[in-house]
Amino acid sequence: MVDLVRLYLVWDRTLSLGSRLAETVAANFSSLGMIRDGVRLSVPVRVRFMGYDGNKTGEPRPIDLQCASSNIIVVLNNRALQARVSEGSWKGYLERLAGAVMERGGRDLILPVALSASATRLAAYPDRAQWIDLHEPALNTDNVAEAAGLLTVHLMIAAIQHLRRCAQKKADELGNRPPHPLKEKIFLSYARSDGKHIVDLIRAFLDKHRFRLDKFLDVYDLSHGRDWRSQFEDEIAASAFIALYTDAYGSRPFCQWELLTAKAHKRPILLASFVKAKEERTFPYAGNLPLRVFSTSDADVQRLVMEILSELLRCVIWDEMSVEACNRSGLSDAIRLPRPPELLDIHFLAQRQPPVRSQSRQGNLRSIRRKLSIQSRRAHQLKIIYPDPPIGDDELQMLQRAAPHIEYWSLSELRKREP
């Protein structure tokens, strides 16, 4: 089976902390975003630093690019690797790899990571590649956990952007998708009374490490002279959404509106809990989302950013998988949800339908039209496709009673119906 995307980490055997970095990256890419009943989306991570027979002096095992639709090859470049490239022991390997990537026409990506200040050139990609810079502070056993987390954040952003570019290339041939954003964007939703200090911590972290991320904060990014509510909705519709769920968050009407707007636009959402004491009434529509508990420590701020990127990457992969499955099944008009369906989705669908205008004459005509409408809906039922596993019977029956004209299929149930 061909994977949608694979991630490879390549390093020289002399990089003693290479395995530690790889373990953290693999752990985070193996379990993306929302997990239900043990079912998860993941990106396979493979490593290359020695040959098949364990020979530590030769070049690593080759990479078979045909095993995935897209491959991201991360080269952990330190002084030792640079020296071996100069000696010739790695040069041929990297040049063949770069040649194979170029032959596949942009489906794959070589991503060099500088682990030392001098490691800024790579054979076959000396000038064109954009580097991930992790050489400050110098990598050591004391900061390897932080460095591995930062590397994971960089790689998730790179994977999201690369998958979007690949999808855009396919869509350009059909002309049915808008251009992907140059940078991913995070929308921070918070209650000012007890969430502003958390926003400042996240903002400082993102600014310090200069990730290829944009962020929207109302106090800094609202445009002068523009209707603020419409700008908020536009920003939410184009962003991964973090709800900084503090004690006050669920009771604030505008926080509720922001969260509902993110759900209406089917955005990746992370419920980040910072509740300290209690919440008198939980917001009833804050469910059906991944929830993580955080403190305000530096490590947890990094983990929060990693978690929203994980959910965003899950949604990007889900989108590609579901589009392909729907097209194969002749259901290109099906509604694809990034999460299991909920009653709120039925409400949003109803809002999109044109209003029914009653007739002032001939009441029997209204009755006939209503019957025809019901028959039409039954003949052309809406299909909602959502991630596995299938929802339970109780949830399904509640949805079916609320909207009998909608069918709900998980991706595996859809695939069983493929011709």
Q: Is 121's pLDDT higher than 80?
A: no
Give the pLDDT of residue 278. Answer: 87
Give the pLDDT of residue 91. Answer: 82
The angle subtended at Cα 98 by Cα 92 and Cα 101, nearest 5°, is: 140
CB 9 within 8 A of CB 25: yes
Pair 340, 303 in one domain: no
Report the range of poorest mean pLDDT among 187-191, 214-218, 239-243, 411-415: 214-218
CATH of the domain at 236: 3.40.50.10140
* 147 occurs within a structural domain: yes
- State the average pLDDT for the chain: 84
Residue identified by tokens 């119906």 is 417
Report the range of poorest mean pLDDT among 87-96, 110-119, 168-177: 168-177
Residue-wise pLDDT tens digits, 10-52: 998 888 889 999 999 999 999 998 888 888 899 999 999 876 6
Residue-wise pLDDT tens digits, 364-384: 555 545 544 554 444 457 899
Averaged over 305-328, what is the pLDDT?
A: 94
* Domain region containing 319: 184-326
Pair 16, 152 in one domain: yes
* 23 occurs within a structural domain: yes
Q: Is 134's pLDDT higher than 70?
A: yes
| Number of domains, the chain | 3
Query: What are the DSSP E strand ranges found in 43-92?
Result: 45-48, 68-77
Give the pLDDT of residue 15. Answer: 86
Which burial class, exposed, middle or buried, applies to 278 when counting CB atoms under 10 A from its CB (0-12, 13-18, 19+)?
exposed
% pLDDT > 90, the chain:
53
Averaged over 301-319, what is the pLDDT?
A: 96
Q: Is 314's pLDDT higher than 80?
A: yes
Pair 301, 244 in one domain: yes
Residue-wise pLDDT tens digits, 395-416: 999 999 999 989 999 999 998 8
Between 327 and 58, the more confident residue is: 327
Pair 304, 286 in one domain: yes
CATH of the domain at 91: 3.40.50
Element (H, E) at 213: strand 213-216
Q: Band of the pLDDT at 359, cuts 50, 70, 90?
A: very low
* 116 occurs within a structural domain: yes
Between 372 and 90, the more confident residue is: 90
- Which residues, including other chains, have CB under 8 Å from residue 59's CB and lie 6 or more apart? 51, 89, 90, 92, 93
Structure-token pair, residue 205: 């972290």
Pair 56, 167 in one domain: yes
Between 62 and 136, the more confident residue is: 62
* 317 occurs within a structural domain: yes
Q: Band of the pLDDT at 206, cuts 50, 70, 90?
A: very high
Q: Give, to the nearest 10 degrees, the angle between helix 393-402 and helix 343-352.
A: 30
How far apart CA 395 and CA 299 sit, in angstroms, is 37
* 179 occurs within a structural domain: no
Pair 46, 166 in one domain: yes
Between 338 and 279, the more confident residue is: 338
* 50 occurs within a structural domain: yes
Averaged over 104-108, what is the pLDDT?
A: 90
Radius of gyration of the chain (CA): 24
CB 158 within 8 A of CB 111: yes
Pair 62, 195 in one domain: no
Q: Is 58's pLDDT higher than 60?
A: yes
Question: Taking the CA of residue 170 as centre, how many other CA atoms within 13 Å lie in the half-sphere pointing to its CB?
Answer: 11
Give the pLDDT of residue 179. Answer: 59
Q: Give, to the nearest 10 degrees, the angle between helix 192-209 and helix 298-328.
A: 80
Pair 201, 153 in one domain: no
